[in-house]
Amino acid sequence: MMSIESKLKRKGVNENLEYLHVKKKKASFTWYLFLAPTLLGILLFIAYPVFESVRLSFYSSNGTIENWVGLRNYERIIAGGAFWNSVYNTFYIGFFQLLIAIPLGFVIASMINRIQRFKSFFKVLFFLPNVTSIVAAAMIFAFLLHPELGLLNYLLEMLWLPTSPWLSDPSTSKWGVILLTVWHWVGFVIIICLANLQAISPELYEASEIDGASKLQQWFYITIPNMSGTFAFLIIMGWISGLQRFNEVFVLGGPGGSPNRSLQTMVAYIYERGFGGFEFGIASAATTLLFIIILLFTMLNLKITRLKI
């Protein structure tokens, strides 16, 4: 009698386990069904274009006819001066954007963090440029930086300061773009810095105040060291976006980066060769080089800043 009962119990347990297994498989299938559109989009619009771009970099192509050339496209790019000029412009604008925007944003964030009233108002005020279309902002800056009719030179004249040709002169055109990028990005820096500032424990400031530390000493020895992770994050994200800069320089200087290619970035160079000259093999090779530069530079930044991902 006991043996029949034990068999029935075992059979019931096995049936329950089988039911749970089937139910788990159905649940997994449902999740994969919901993920299928996203996975399909990644394959079609990210994985395939990357593969096709790398493949096309070994061909001479005008969009219809392809001829195998091996590494000749890469040799032409590396030997030419136009590509290295675009690399220089990209790094120059990106470096000074970060050098100005991160310290400026941190200082403004520290000031906002200390006030008690109108804190939300200042957050919105400084963040508004970041949500403004960069194309619209570039068009406005093109007018503001006009050497004769621009508002900026008019203000400089009122203050008896020397004016600048800005976007009309290759020696100053990059600084016009830097002003635009700093204005557009500093709001993001402020919001990120504020989030970290508000996460620092008030007990650290209270303890230092008891020990006789001034506000300036607290800022240097407590606030800044606790912001290292945020600074590393901003540097890495700033460089990744800076190395892909295109919209603002295209609006201000066109695909050729006028005047005299002083505003042409790497992405603008790729656009000019691909869609301007129909040299899709050259453009694809330049895209691959850009990917390698971004990858190596990001790894270097991670190593220097010691940011864990």
Q: For residue 24, what pLDDT is reported?
A: 66
Q: What is the mean pLDDT of residues 259-288?
A: 92
pLDDT tens for residues 83-104?
999 999 999 999 999 999 999 9
Inform me whether the pLDDT recorded for 166 exceeds 80: yes
Give 289's pLDDT tier (boundaries 50, 70, 90).
very high
Give the pLDDT score at 195.
92
* Mean pLDDT value of segment 258-276: 91
Model confidence at 298: pLDDT above 80:
yes
Q: What is the structure's pLDDT at 245?
A: 93
**pLDDT mean over 290-298:** 89
Q: What is the mean pLDDT of the chain?
A: 86
**170-183 pLDDT, tens per residue?**
889 999 999 999 99
Give the contacts of 253 (CB within 8 A, at least 6 positions apart).
167, 173, 259, 262, 263, 264, 268
d(CA 301, CA 309): 12
* Percentage of the chain lying above the pLDDT 70 cut: 89
- In the prediction, which pLDDT does 219 show? 86
pLDDT at 1: 45
pLDDT at 229 over 50: yes
Encode pLDDT of 25-78 as tens digits: 666 677 778 888 888 999 998 899 899 999 999 999 887 888 999 899 999 999
Report residue 43 CA to chain centroid gap.
23
Angle at 293 between CA 81 and CA 52, to 5 degrees: 95
pLDDT of residue 90: 95
Summarize the confidence of residues 223-252 as an average pLDDT: 91
**Per-residue model confidence (pLDDT) at position 32:** 78
- pTM over the 0.75 mark: yes
pLDDT of residue 27: 64
Q: What is the pLDDT of residue 189?
A: 96
Find out whether 235 and 227 touch, Cβ atoms under 8 Å: no
- What would you report as the CA-atom Rg of the chain, rounded to the nearest whole angstrom? 28
Higher pLDDT, 194 or 16: 194
Confidence of residue 301 (pLDDT cuts 50, 70, 90): confident
